[in-house]
Amino acid sequence: MRARLLALVLMLLLAGCSSGGTRDDGRITLRFQSLAWQEESVEANKELVKEWNATHPDVRVEYVQGSWDSVHDQLLTAFEGGEAPDIIHDASDDLADFAYGGYLADLTDLLPARLKSDIPQRSWETTTFGDGIYGVPFLQEPRVLIANAKWLKRSGVRIPTPEKPWSWAEFRRITEQLSGRGKYGIAWPLKEPVSATLNLSLSTGGQLFHRGADGKVTVRFEAADQVVPRTIHAQAGTDRSASPTTLGSGGSDTLPGFFGGRYAMVPLGFSYRQQIVQQAPKGFDWQVLPAPAGAGGLTQGVSPQTLSVAEDSPHKKEAAAFIDFLLRPKNMVRLALGDWMLPTGDRALNDPALRTPEHGWATGTALAAHLRPAPAQTVRGYPEWKDKVATPALQEYYSGAIGIRELRERLEEDGNLVLARYQR
């Protein structure tokens, strides 16, 4: 009898500790795992959760802090263990395996028409797998050039604008012109070289991943795919206009040298502007420039941040309603300002707060129309291809350890062996 009583008490305790589901009083609790990490962004997310809870007493949202560094493996473990949060913050290029694996809910019939129409189709393509929509793309950032404004002005080079950007060839010439006496025209932070290379290569017409009539994807490293990596390789190895020591660095690692006058420009994601505002020395004059353009113009690949609903969630409609609330135009602006990124929604993007010249906001919003799904969006096996094949191959190429021929062989031959395992 005592053993039965203890077992009953334990069951009740476990039920009370559950962080999701429906309580005895009928109130639903949803877990929202956010990957916001910048102080302003975390604050904006938590404030919106608080506002939802204040106006929706029957559906409470619990904020759960996640991390970009471990999100893929953490989510995979959670999905397989039946412990996934109801509402999932991630990036679109991480969704394919989860969507095809049945871990994410198809949102096609759960999202309101307002939200569907406000976000352009090109953004929805980043979260569409097969016939379903498995995430709502809500924040995105172009890669831009952060430049030392005084250095560029003093040099007399033509300053590019979204209307008249540099070509890749002109960009190479200008970085060489800006270099000399231990200083460099550009610092490429390429610790994670794959997304930067692939996304910028859309401007030159590169695709890399090609889907056949049978639906299978193969890698082809063609001439258009080679313009960007050849340019970076030449800047670092031939022209000496790119700092070789930053090739293995992350974006933040280049900022001290940039502030110290060692590099004229650094290609960074748009959100890095917040760090620059916070860390730049007093009086440091900087500006945001568009990345170079090629045959494809200013087209650039992006992998928007997304909000998804777990397939195992017993409250999908309520989770979708919270996403709709979180992404109302004014709320989307708050999230964009908090993360120093661009919203995907047209109404939010037109908000005056995101159109100001201050801190380069206007340059970023001018690039929004040119953003397209990153080449790897719907490629199953992309995370493994990136980690095991593309990252080491590109790192070795940029450092000068291998040439373009070996780079091509490894990306294609080794890469297609990896992708083939996911397409049987």
Whether residue 22 has pLDDT greater than 80:
no
User: In 120-245, which ranges are E strands?
Assistant: 128-129, 132-133, 136-140, 143-148, 209-211, 217-219
DSSP state of 389: I
Domain that holds residue 208: 143-290+381-420
Whether residue 17 has pLDDT greater than 90:
no
Tens digits of per-residue pLDDT, 317-375?
A: 999 999 999 999 999 999 999 999 999 999 999 999 999 999 999 999 999 999 999 88
pLDDT in the model for residue 24: 58
Report the C-alpha gap between 183 and 181 in whole angstroms: 6
Same structural domain, 78 and 178: no
Same structural domain, 330 and 183: no
Same structural domain, 409 and 282: yes
Same structural domain, 127 and 247: no
Report the C-alpha gap between 386 and 101 in whole angstroms: 19
Whether residue 23 has pLDDT greater than 80:
no
Tokens 């995979």 correspond to what residue?
Answer: 76
Tokens 């994807």 correspond to what residue?
Answer: 217
Rg (CA), the chain: 23
62 lies in some domain: yes
7 lies in some domain: no
12 lies in some domain: no
308 lies in some domain: yes
Same structural domain, 158 and 216: yes
- Split into its structural domains, the chain has a count of 2
4 lies in some domain: no
Tens digits of per-residue pLDDT, 157-210?
A: 999 999 999 999 999 999 999 999 999 999 999 999 999 999 999 999 999 999
Stretch among 51-60, 147-156, 169-178, 368-377 having the lowest mean pLDDT: 368-377
DSSP state of 418: H
Inter-axis angle of helices 39-55 and 329-339, to 10 degrees? 150
What average pLDDT does this structure show over 231-238?
A: 97
- In which band, very low, low, confident or very high, does the pLDDT at 12 lie, cut at 50, 70 and 90? very low
Same structural domain, 286 and 362: no
Same structural domain, 242 and 342: no
Tokens 């002005």 correspond to what residue?
Answer: 153
Report the C-alpha gap between 81 and 30 in whole angstroms: 18
pLDDT in the model for residue 84: 96
16 lies in some domain: no
Contact in structure between 258 and 282 (CB atoms under 8 Å): no
pLDDT in the model for residue 215: 85
Whether residue 308 has pLDDT greater than 90:
yes
Instruction: Supply the pTM of this predicted model.
Output: 0.89
pLDDT in the model for residue 378: 78
Same structural domain, 28 and 134: yes
The Cα-based distances of 263 to 6, 233, 241 in angstroms read 68, 17, 9
Report the C-alpha gap between 174 and 163 in whole angstroms: 18
1 lies in some domain: no
pLDDT in the model for residue 26: 77
228 lies in some domain: yes
In the 3-class helix/strand/coil scheme, how is 247-295 assigned residue by residue? CCCCHHHHHHHHHCCCECEEEEEHHHHHHHHHHCCCCCCEEEEECCEEC
Same structural domain, 53 and 156: no
Domain end call among 349, 370, 391: 370
CA distance from start to end of the chain: 55
- Mean pLDDT of the chain, nearest integer: 93
What average pLDDT does this structure show over 61-83?
A: 94
Stretch among 43-57, 129-143, 207-221, 368-382 having the lowest mean pLDDT: 368-382
Same structural domain, 103 and 45: yes
DSSP 56-111: -TTEEEEEEE--GGGHHHHHHHHHHTT---SEEEEEGGG-HHHHHTT-B---TTTS
Same structural domain, 176 and 114: no
In a 13 Å sphere around the CA of 384, the CA atoms on its Cβ side amount to: 14
Same structural domain, 71 and 209: no
Give the CATH number for residue 29.
3.40.190.10
What average pLDDT does this structure show over 377-401?
A: 93
